[in-house]
Structure 1
Amino acid sequence: MSAPVVLFDVPGPRARRTYRVVGVVAVLVLVALLVLVVRGLANPDDNQFTAEKWRPFLDPVTWTAYLLPGLVNTLKAAAIAVVLSVVVGLVLGVGRLSQSRVLRLVCGTYVEFFRSVPVLVMMIFSYYFAVFVVGITGDAASLFGVVAGLTLYNSAVIAELIRSGVHSLPRGQREAGLAVGLTPSQAMTAILLPQAVTAMLPSLLSQLVVILKDTALGYIINFSELIRGGQNLSTNFGNLIPTFIVLAAIFILINYSLTFLARLLERRLQRSAKGTPPPDPDDQAQVAPVGGGMGVGVL
């Protein structure tokens, strides 16, 4: 059975030809723009593609003093924000599905509010909250601002993913849990929530990649992440374009690795969800059923 189409109808032959033409034209336009950009950056006054601009990346000090410390801070902030976002998102998602109207209202207000506020605004607010209210200063305040901003926004998104995953399950799943004596909360945690997390796993992992990329916004509040390290490097050596090409390659490598691991995990979960293997005939009781006019036969 083919997968259901939710947003768009399946394109016909004419629409597919139109899509191909539009795609080819878009690629040609992008290539033309790329050529113009490269020609502009390769001007004789400040050629960004000379060997001299790339030579600093052969110096170990460039990596140990600029790029690697920023990469460590980026990964640290992303790891903390991922853990907090998943935990808070699960709690909020379950709260939005609670039987309590008050709890649903509180969790729904949180989700709708923080999904509507830009991440950068929440980072700035959290940073100044840490400085003027909590009393945190220096790099710790910047780290607090980045982690808090990412957690507030992405936990709300993850909560919606959890809620959507539970609603996508057949109603019989919950009814079966209630029929065997489980309470609504037990049916949620033991039956619905694990299946919802598995169903929404690709979207959840994509959101975790977004968290990693959004750590770059921390340069606004003086967080020493990878982008800021690259800016300091390009300021000292005058190689802005080569530096950001290297930074883009680092982000692509990390995000591709995360996506690859996510695909492996998704395939493994899909294989495990296909059901248990058929029972071994040697382990089954060798007793024939009793039927009308049939005797009991022990084989």
Structure 2
Amino acid sequence: MTSSPVSALYDEPGPRTRLKIRIWSVVSALVILGVVALGVVQFASKGQLDADRWTPFLDLAIWEYLGVGLVGTLQAAALTAVLGFALGLVLALGRLSRVTAVRWVCTAYIEVARTIPVLLLIYLMLFGLPQLGLNFPLLWKLVIPLTIANSAAFAEIIRAGVLALPRGQTEAGLSLGMSRWQVDRKVVLPQALRFVAPSLVVQLVSLLKDTSLGYIVAFTELLYRGQVLSAYNGLLIQTFVVVTAIFLALNGSLSGLASRLQRRPGRRSLAAPTETAPAGLTTPNAPVDR
């Protein structure tokens, strides 16, 4: 029997539940549209929708100024994604390790990194480490805290993909004379990463939003540039509406990519988890025999 990656962890909703989900989705959409309409009316009554408050954004110089911040946002997000995924992959394998010490160290790192707010890590990079003689460039004062936090999220996503694979994949590789490392590298991980690819892309959405914390360290990212621009032109609402629209376009593109990956025709369903997988999920410190 096969199931989707979601149904491997949760029960599929029944007809009544699906109906309730549709109803509440419609109600939520209507409420959101009502709030947006009310906001537009209020903006119009205060003159915030007047043409003279929006025409400055037809100036190419403003878009060039914001474009520099957008490049900084994408640069920080790309570095964090690469480093966070690499570290997350190591942590996931470590948490699944049969070596108790390695498993406990990786588990402790993941749990601590998931608990500490990213903002606190950034303040540590900004005020704490310089007192110890460690003063990183502005870009890395943002990238390092984001990497610490997102690597833990990536690790749990990858680990969930590995645990969801049937044990027969590992047993088949071992029966062919492959070592466990070869099985993990050539059989288990490629399939697990393929199954969790949509979740990894969704995590990139969260990562991209977190780059907006770069304003704290005065890193030139999109939100920081928006703040400076609004202080210069006095168009606070208009400037941040434009910045919001840019973030919506970026995150919407990533969300669309995740949806396409989820629905791609060649994506195989996961087999129903074996008895070992739920045990690994409910007891994350236990080793996985793969």
Q: TM-score, normalised by structure 1?
A: 0.79
Change (3 A) 1:10 1:271: closer
1:283 aligned residue = none
Q: In the alignment, is residue 76 of structure 1 matched against residue 75 of structure 2?
A: yes
2:62 aligned residue = 62
Q: Is contact 2:199-2:258 (8 Å) kept?
A: no
Deviations 1:68-106 (A, max 9, x none): 111111111111101100110111111111121111111
Change (3 A) 1:223 1:102: same
1:90 aligned residue = 89
What's the offset of the Cα at 1:191? Answer: 1.2
What's the offset of the Cα at 1:232? Answer: 1.4
What's the offset of the Cα at 1:168? Answer: 0.4
Aligned residue identity for 2:85: V
Change (3 A) 1:97 1:64: same
1:126 aligned residue = 125
Q: Give the length in aligned residue pairs.
A: 266
Q: How does 1:142-291 map to 2 (within 5 A)?
A: 142-262=138-258, 271=266
2:35 aligned residue = 33
Aligned residue identity for 1:37: G
2:13 aligned residue = 10
Deviations 1:23-48 (A, max 9, x none): 4443443333323322332334xx22
Identity %: 42
What's the offset of the Cα at 1:21? Answer: 4.8
Change (3 A) 1:134 1:189: farther
2:272 aligned residue = none
Aligned residue identity for 2:62: T
What's the offset of the Cα at 1:145? Answer: 1.9
1:285 aligned residue = none
Structure 2 residues without counterparts, runs of 5 or longer = 270-290
Partner secondary structure for residue 45 of structure 2 = coil
Aligned residue identity for 1:199: F
Change (3 A) 1:207 1:24: closer
What's the offset of the Cα at 1:11? Answer: 3.9
- Partners of 2:257 and 2:29 lie apart in 1 by 30
What's the offset of the Cα at 1:115? Answer: 0.8
Q: Is contact 1:53-1:237 (8 Å) kept?
A: no
- Partners of 1:24 and 1:157 lie apart in 2 by 31
- Partners of 1:29 and 1:266 lie apart in 2 by 28
What's the offset of the Cα at 1:152? Answer: 0.3
Change (3 A) 1:99 1:9: closer
Change (3 A) 1:55 1:148: same
Change (3 A) 1:23 1:156: closer
Deviates more, 1:80-89 or 1:239-248: 239-248
What's the offset of the Cα at 1:22? Answer: 4.0
Aligned alpha-carbon RMSD (Å): 2.6
Q: Is contact 2:95-2:107 (8 Å) kept?
A: yes
Partner secondary structure for residue 48 of structure 1 = coil
Deviates more, 1:4-13 or 1:228-237: 4-13
Deviates more, 1:128-137 or 1:106-115: 128-137
Which structure has more relative contact order (CA 8 Å, sep 6+)? It is 2
Partner secondary structure for residue 97 of structure 2 = coil
What's the offset of the Cα at 1:273? Answer: 6.6
- Partners of 2:23 and 2:205 lie apart in 1 by 32
Deviations 1:237-278 (A, max 9, x none): 22222212211221122223334445566667x63879xxxx
Q: Is contact 2:201-2:257 (8 Å) kept?
A: no
Deviates more, 1:72-81 or 1:246-255: 246-255
Partner secondary structure for residue 271 of structure 1 = coil
- Partners of 1:74 and 1:9 lie apart in 2 by 38
Deviations 1:171-220 (A, max 9, x none): 11111122222222222112111111111111011111211111011212
The structure that has the greater radius of gyration is: 1
